[in-house]
Amino acid sequence: MSKLIKRRSFLKGAAVAGAGAAAVAASNLAAPAIAQGKRELKMVTTWPKNFPGLGTSAERLAARIGSASGGAITVKVFSAGELVPPFESFDAVSQGTADMYHAADYYWQGKSKAYNFFCAVPFGLTASEMNAWIHHAGGQQLWDELGAGFNIKPFMAGNTGVQWGGWFNKEMTGLEDFKGLKMRMPGLGGEVLRRLGSAAVALPGGEIFPALQAGTIDATEWVGPWNDLAFGFYKVTKYYYWPGFHEPGTVLSCGVNKGVWDSLSAGEQSLIETCAAAENDMVLAEFNAKNSDALATLVNEHGVQVRRMPNDMLNAIGGKSGEVVAEAAASDPMTQKVYDSFLAFRGKAIAYSKLSDQAYWQARLLPFKYG
Ligand code: CA
């Protein structure tokens, strides 16, 4: 089928639902919206409406696509639960109920464990390393191959940077403190906790605070100071631990229904790709700009106790993480392929970061006077 025919049949089909689908389906291609090539895409998200940094990024990506296309493509955003429950966003896009999602791909590890690697894995890659692997070291090709099996074309569309270890209702002094702990932690980080004897659950963002308040969970991780302040976890738990070993640079993703994607012109595809890349930068910048002040608010205004996870605890968790990630890789051939690429890149990234980012950060902490 030629691209033009595919495009016309697409325009006659689901994507124009809501703009008078019945009339359009009667092949009235002269209708103004169609003649001008306008279309509306439905974006489902896993975030509460306008949640800072996540929901707002989905809205900003939609607005960016709208303005960059001169209004030819409008994206209507549905927050968690508005069109489908948050964790059904993947199926909705895969099956065409929605045209695209904005989410974190580790939520889809039930589809394939390979999805963890395109979001965050414990002791994995930082934000800049994820960008490097996905854009320049084969990651995007593997993600496309994985997505094709589910009728989804994926993109990076944001990054939270290094997350925090989470909120606890007690001090965590050793590994034994994880035994019996009921904690919200998604992805492979949750599996690491299970190996430590915790009961880990992967609640969507909007369900965490009520669960914490009701005592259904004892502890939670979410993102970092800016996002965690917005959810108000400090009202229930006071011990806030860093660093977030489980999410060192979490990718937010935009997945587009493959049929919708293939029906777009090369220019429209490029536009969406470029908007997602712009948003990928914008989100990380926003988290980096806002986390520091939010942490000060948590500590100074809400009496939050900030604690660092001790090295022996992190070292033990690191070992468990390595086991969990390797076992996940063995779950299917695609995940193994993704893991092999990820692991090879991780090795190079560690070797080089010692001489670059990490070396500079250590140098900057030397006690010289500056300014
Ligand atoms: Ca998180």
pLDDT at 18: 40
SS3 235: helix
* DSSP symbols for 94-115: HHTSSSEEEE-GGGGTTT-GGG
> What is the CB-side half-sphere exposure of residue 318 using CA atoms within 13 A?
11
Taking the centre of ligand 1 as the mean of its atom positions, its distance from the CA of residue 243, in whole angstroms, is: 12
10-residue block means of pLDDT along the chain (371 residues)? 43 40 40 62 96 96 98 97 98 98 97 98 98 98 98 98 97 95 96 96 95 97 97 97 97 98 97 98 98 98 97 97 97 98 98 97 98 95
Amino acid symbol at 249? G
Which CATH code for domain 166-246+290-331?
A: 3.40.190.10
Contact call for residues 209 and 201 (beta carbons, < 8 A): no
Structure tokens at 47: 């975030």
Among the four given CATH numbers 3.40.1190.20, 3.40.190.170, 3.40.50.300, 3.50.50.60, the one describing domain 39-159+249-287: 3.40.190.170
Q: How far apart (Å, rounded) are the C-alpha atoms in residues 16 and 22?
A: 9
Taking the centre of ligand 1 as the mean of its atom positions, its distance from the CA of residue 117, in whole angstroms, is: 14
pLDDT at 16: 38
Q: Show me where the domains of the chain are located.
A: 39-159+249-287, 166-246+290-331
Taking the centre of ligand 1 as the mean of its atom positions, its distance from the CA of residue 342, in whole angstroms, is: 20
Q: Could you tell me the sign of the dihedral formed by the alpha carbons of 29, 32, 37, 41, in that order?
A: negative
pLDDT at 83: 98
Taking the centre of ligand 1 as the mean of its atom positions, its distance from the CA of residue 16, in whole angstroms, is: 35
pLDDT at 36: 62
* DSSP symbols for 129-197: HHHHHHHHSSHHHHHHHHHHTTTEEEEEEEE--S---EEESS---SGGGGTT-EEE--HHHHHHHHHTT
Taking the centre of ligand 1 as the mean of its atom positions, its distance from the CA of residue 303, in whole angstroms, is: 22
pLDDT at 12: 39
Residues measured by CB to lie within 5 Å of ligand 1, the ion: 163, 221, 247
Taking the centre of ligand 1 as the mean of its atom positions, its distance from the CA of residue 19, in whole angstroms, is: 37
Contact call for residues 322 and 123 (beta carbons, < 8 A): yes
Q: How far apart (Å, rounded) are the C-alpha atoms in residues 254 and 134?
A: 14
Residues 6+ apart with CB under 8 A from 218: 168, 169, 181, 182, 183
Structure tokens at 160: 């939270």
Taking the centre of ligand 1 as the mean of its atom positions, its distance from the CA of residue 47, in whole angstroms, is: 13
Query: Do the domains 39-159+249-287 and 166-246+290-331 sit in the same CATH topology, yes or no?
Result: yes
The closest alpha carbon to 284, from 167, 124, 127, 163, belongs to: 127
